[in-house]
Amino acid sequence: MRVLVYGAGAVGSYLGGMLATRNDVTLVGRREHAKIIMEEGLRITGLTDITVRPKAFEHIPEDESYDLVLLTVKSFDLEASLKDLGPVLGHRTVLMVVQNGLRVLDLPTHSGGSPLVLGVASIGVTHQGPGHIVHAGSGGLRMGTIEGGLDLDLYWHLFSESGVGCDVSSDIAKDVWRKGVINSAINPITALVRRRNGAILDSEGLLALSRMVFDESMVIAIAYGGLDQGDLCFQDVIEMVRATAANRSSMLQDVERGRRTEVNAINGSLVRAGVRSRRPVGYNSTLCALINGIERAKDGE
């Protein structure tokens, strides 16, 4: 299968790299990352230890077509990325968006003529440097469509046969909400203390904070209609932290590199949902303010 991965950061490089073991894969990412991959290959180390040689570019190659486009950019680049992808989308191409936050739930079921599949990744990967990512924890990939009507068995086989644990979801919207709630109670905390995910279990104070954020996020999700009581509990957060204990969350990686984070797409989305449903948002809004403050400090404001 011909696959284009647009946004080859840590998660995109991992998924594209694994698919490249059995498929024709093109990665689009940052210039230096793409340059090293073309010259030396993509190294995936840690739980997975392979070097693969997908094609890699800074921009989408012209006059090419693909069976599957994986969009793995940050949430704040979503609209611009969909515009860039316009020439390669169409009814013969499936678009799979794998992204943090709740904004993906507002996307139309077809984008640029391509049927839309949403992917929820629970994979601990870190961008170690150009051409190199570290695979530190894996919960796999869940995929689904909002309205159904698309047979996803082909794509289940595509990922599974390439070594990526994969499930087809019967309710992908709930899976997006579940990940959003779990991420809200992990990512900003690890970014603030500059520690790996496992630090939350090593500190009574951080664990208590994580629980308070989770409780608030869960109340919001239920009130907004995203989740039902019993769909998620704090033990699910603990299990996710354990499974990715050695991982540096994407938000932590962004803070360390002085880049814009996805806190407004994760905790900020919950704040907006909480305001609309008239539920308390104190913990999530505080985390947003703190992470946004770090971002502005990096910008010299």
Cβ-proximal residues to 12 (8 Å cutoff; 6+ apart), any chain: 5, 6, 27, 29, 70, 72, 73, 98
Closest CA to 237 of 193, 258, 207: 207
Pair (144, 245) in one structural domain? no
- Where a domain ends, among 170, 192, 225? 170
Pair (212, 228) in one structural domain? yes
Residue pLDDT, tens place only, 234-259: 999 999 999 888 888 999 999 999 99
Residue pLDDT, tens place only, 58-116: 999 988 999 999 999 999 999 999 999 999 999 899 999 999 999 899 898 888 889 99
* pLDDT for position 139: 73
Pair (92, 229) in one structural domain? no
Structure tokens at 31: 């210039």
* pLDDT for position 300: 55
Pair (13, 157) in one structural domain? yes
Confidence of residue 147 (pLDDT cuts 50, 70, 90): confident
Coil/strand/helix, residue 57: strand
**For the chain, how far is it from start to end, CA to CA, in angstroms?**
47
Pair (6, 153) in one structural domain? yes
**Cβ-contact 97, 86 below 8 angstroms:** no
Closest CA to 249 of 183, 164, 297, 295: 183
Pair (148, 185) in one structural domain? no
DSSP state of 153: H
DSSP state of 60: P
Closest CA to 55 of 6, 119, 89: 6
Q: In this predicted structure, which of 54-58, 68-72, 133-137, 231-235 has the lowest mean pLDDT?
A: 133-137
Closest CA to 159 of 68, 249, 244: 68
Pair (89, 63) in one structural domain? yes
From residue 297, alpha-carbon distances to 13, 237, 256, 259, 264 in Å are 29, 30, 12, 11, 17
Pair (153, 188) in one structural domain? no
- Where a domain ends, among 170, 204, 222? 170
Euclidean distance between CA atoms 275 and 179, whole angstroms: 20
Pair (181, 166) in one structural domain? no
Pair (188, 108) in one structural domain? no
Closest CA to 222 of 268, 278, 161, 149: 278
Residue pLDDT, tens place only, 191-224: 999 999 999 999 999 999 999 999 999 999 999 9
Confidence of residue 228 (pLDDT cuts 50, 70, 90): very high
Domain with 228 in it: what CATH number?
1.10.1040.10
| Helix 10-19 and helix 153-160, axial crossing angle in degrees, nearest 10 | 90
Pair (144, 273) in one structural domain? no
Domain range for 230 is 176-298
Query: How many Cβ atoms from other residues are within 10 Å of residue 299's Cβ?
Result: 9
Residue pLDDT, tens place only, 148-201: 778 899 999 999 999 999 999 999 999 999 999 999 999 999 999 999 999 999
Confidence of residue 274 (pLDDT cuts 50, 70, 90): very high
For the entire predicted model, the pTM comes to 0.92
Residue pLDDT, tens place only, 257-267: 999 999 999 99
Confidence of residue 146 (pLDDT cuts 50, 70, 90): confident
Domain with 153 in it: what CATH number?
3.40.50.720
Pair (205, 109) in one structural domain? no
Confidence of residue 298 (pLDDT cuts 50, 70, 90): low
- Where a domain ends, among 122, 144, 170? 170
**Cβ-contact 249, 187 below 8 angstroms:** yes
Provide the domain count of the chain.
Answer: 2
